[in-house]
């Protein structure tokens, strides 16, 4: 990517979160009154928490027809759903417990079971939802990026990065010694819209590497996300953008 036209820089993390929440409601709006459902894969980690909190506020929550929304997760840590590390727990606390979304529209990844079995269950769930499709097509995918360039739970060097047929894979965060379950690269690349949410100075160098790769530098997982027939937006705060 030479100079991404879809890079949006915000002065503060709060402005970034508001912009992401605005996009969520804007992209969901065309689904009102339509038979199709608005399918979203949520990001984990800390950055999206404020986006989810905002979506649950008076300012935003009435602009979304929650019964029309199906929420999935881009990845999950292999922990129980009430564990502090659980992406589901974070989304539940910040958003799901506060809006009128039917429980059947929330499709969590089971973090507490056998990871391989949970990955298969999640893939089955997705195949049922996206019935008959060779790949799922999410209407919106939210992603973050770690300092090492990982996205969802696709870590540098992970075998899952080259997955070509599975929709869901088991990976491992080696430093934390934590198993993870993640959607695979082709799934993200089939999405209609992908939004990366990046904040903080500690991400600045990696963001520069990703958006302006130098010849000969190795690829990091976030660079594999290039929707075939969809949009890719980078919403970043000024700290993360400070080296661009
Ligand atoms: C997770 C993620 C992961 C995350 C990045 C950025 O479950 O941890 O989905 O890919 O988005 O690590 O996380 P922060 O927003 O916390 O920096």
Can you list the residues of the chain whose pLDDT is less than 50?
Answer: 1-3
The pTM for the full model equals 0.96
pLDDT per position as a tens digit, 30-51 = 999 999 999 999 999 999 999 9
Question: What is residue 110's three-state secondary structure?
Answer: coil
- Using the mean position of ligand 1's atoms as its centre, give its distance from the Cα of residue 184 in Å: 15
Gap from CA of 207 to ligand 1 centroid (Å)? 14
**For ligand 1, atom 3: residue with the closest CA:** 152
CA 51/CA 130 separation, integer angstroms: 26
Using a 6 Å cutoff on CB, does residue 146 contact ligand 1? yes
The pLDDT, as a whole number, for residue 226 is 95
| Ligand 1 contacts CB of residue 171 (under 6 A) | no
Whether residue 237 has its Cβ less than 6 Å from ligand 1:
no
CB 43 near ligand 1, within 6 Å: yes
Q: 140 C-alpha to center of ligand 1: Å?
A: 17
Give tens-digit pLDDT for 70-85: 999 999 999 999 999 9
H helix runs in the chain, sequence order:
13-28, 49-55, 58-61, 87-91, 115-129, 185-189, 204-211
């Amino acid at each position: 990517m030479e100079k991404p036209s879809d890079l949006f820089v915000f002065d503060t993390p709060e402005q970034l979160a508001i912009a992401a929440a605005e996009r969520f409601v804007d992209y969901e709006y065309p689904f009102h009154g339509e038979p199709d459902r608005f399918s979203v894969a949520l990001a984990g980690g800390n950055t999206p928490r404020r986006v989810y909190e905002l979506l649950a506020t008076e300012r935003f929550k009435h602009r979304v027809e929650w019964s029309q929304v199906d929420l999935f997760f881009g990845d999950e840590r292999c922990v129980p759903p009430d564990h502090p590390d659980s992406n589901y727990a974070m989304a539940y606390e910040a958003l799901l417990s506060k809006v009128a979304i039917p429980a059947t529209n929330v499709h969590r990844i089971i973090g507490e079971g056998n990871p391989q079995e949970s990955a298969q269950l999640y893939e089955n769930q997705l195949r049922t939802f996206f019935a008959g499709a060779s790949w799922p097509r999410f209407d919106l995918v939210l992603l973050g990026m770690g300092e090492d360039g990982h996205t969802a739970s696709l870590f540098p060097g992970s075998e899952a990065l080259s997955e070509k047929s599975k929709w869901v894979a088991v990976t491992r965060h080696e430093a934390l010694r934590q198993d993870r379950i993640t959607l695979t690269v082709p799934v993200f690349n089939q999405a209609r819209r992908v939004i990366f949410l990046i904040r903080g100075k500690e991400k600045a160098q990696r963001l520069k590497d990703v958006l302006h790769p130098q010849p000969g530098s190795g690829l990091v997982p976030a660079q594999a996300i290039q929707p075939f027939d969809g949009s890719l937006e980078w919403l970043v705060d000024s700290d993360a953008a400070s080296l661009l």
